[in-house]
Amino acid sequence: MAPRQFGRGADYRINIVKRPKEATGLEAELGYAFRRHHLLEQALTHSSYAREQQAAGDGVNVRDNEQLEFLGDAILGFVTSEELYSRFPQFHEGQLSKLRAYIVSAEHLVNAARKLKLGDYLRLGRGEEKSGGRSKTALQVDALEALLAAMYLDGGMRRTRAFILERIVEPELKRMGAQLSTGVPIRDYKSALQETAHSLSKPQPHYVLVGEEGPEHKKTFTVEARIHSHGNKVEYVGRGQGSTKKMAEQDAARQVIEYLSSVEQTPKGDRKRRPGTSQN
């Protein structure tokens, strides 16, 4: 079979006859075909898998993704810094640093990793597999950073930079929208809600776990952030979800902040109680 064009931009040609189905599936998600397939395999190899293979003593040298992760982290930081420097000349160093830290945080990167379904392609040891390693944020983020390094080593900076901007930086900048007017997006919504409540002379928020579902290794938690009135009635409620209680609390706090901000910008005569808020 003749080599076929593969991926966005189609800069690289590669014969995929001998490629495993799993690899071509991920390459389709990436929009990029590796010429040196061992780099892709290494990027997806967790240290638990490499240790098991070495312990088996079959003479095969399996490399894990930790060194690639180190390089990928640096590449991601550089590309993000360069883009923010060019796009926001009005921001001072502190603002740029905070914005970069937000974009390259695990909380954000895991979303990009999940869209690529990276967890499905990880090579894990048996123990890590049984403990739900495929859904762990840390493992998915590490693999994403390793993948960036593998792409760089295989195809160079131009293609890697385009991927980072398209899949990681641009979606988040677009989502943040108006927050960029300050240059300092909120990461700790719980602390921000405390400050907001204090500035509005309202009681401090109270967080209540109202539900959890799913298997032990992949639970989804639902938490309500409640602000009571001075008469001890619940005045505002935000309901958030997350794979941890802390993430659910942050999501709930974010909702309340957004609502309080909208209320304060609305004339008093036009204000309406937020749908779903409780009076009990």
List residues with catalytic annotation. Answer: 73, 145
CA-to-CA dists, residue 219 to 32, 109, 127, angstroms: 33, 20, 19
Q: Classify residue 56 as exposed, middle or buried by CB count within 10 Å of its CB (0-12, 13-18, 19+).
A: exposed
CA–CA distance, 259 with 274 (Å, rounded to integer): 8
Tokens linked to 13: 């040609």
CA-to-CA dists, residue 243 to 118, 137, 142, 143, 186, angstroms: 17, 9, 18, 19, 20
Task: Please give the backbone phi and psi of residue 91, each rounded to the nearest 5 degrees, phi first.
Answer: -85, 140
Name residues whose C-beta falls within 8 Å of residue 106's C-beta, 6 or more positions apart in sequence: 137, 138, 141
Task: Please give the backbone phi and psi of residue 229, each rounded to the nearest 5 degrees, phi first.
Answer: -80, 175
Strands 220-228 and 234-242: antiparallel
Tokens linked to 214: 């799913």
Tokens linked to 16: 């995929």
| Helix, strand, or coil (residue 239) | strand
Name residues whose C-beta falls within 8 Å of residue 166's C-beta, 6 or more positions apart in sequence: none
Sequence-ordered alpha helix ranges (H) in 8-46: 21-30, 37-43
Task: Please give the backbone phi and psi of residue 225, each rounded to the nearest 5 degrees, phi first.
Answer: -100, 115
Token look-up 């990276």 returns 118
Q: Which helix (H) or strand (E) holds 236?
A: strand 234-242
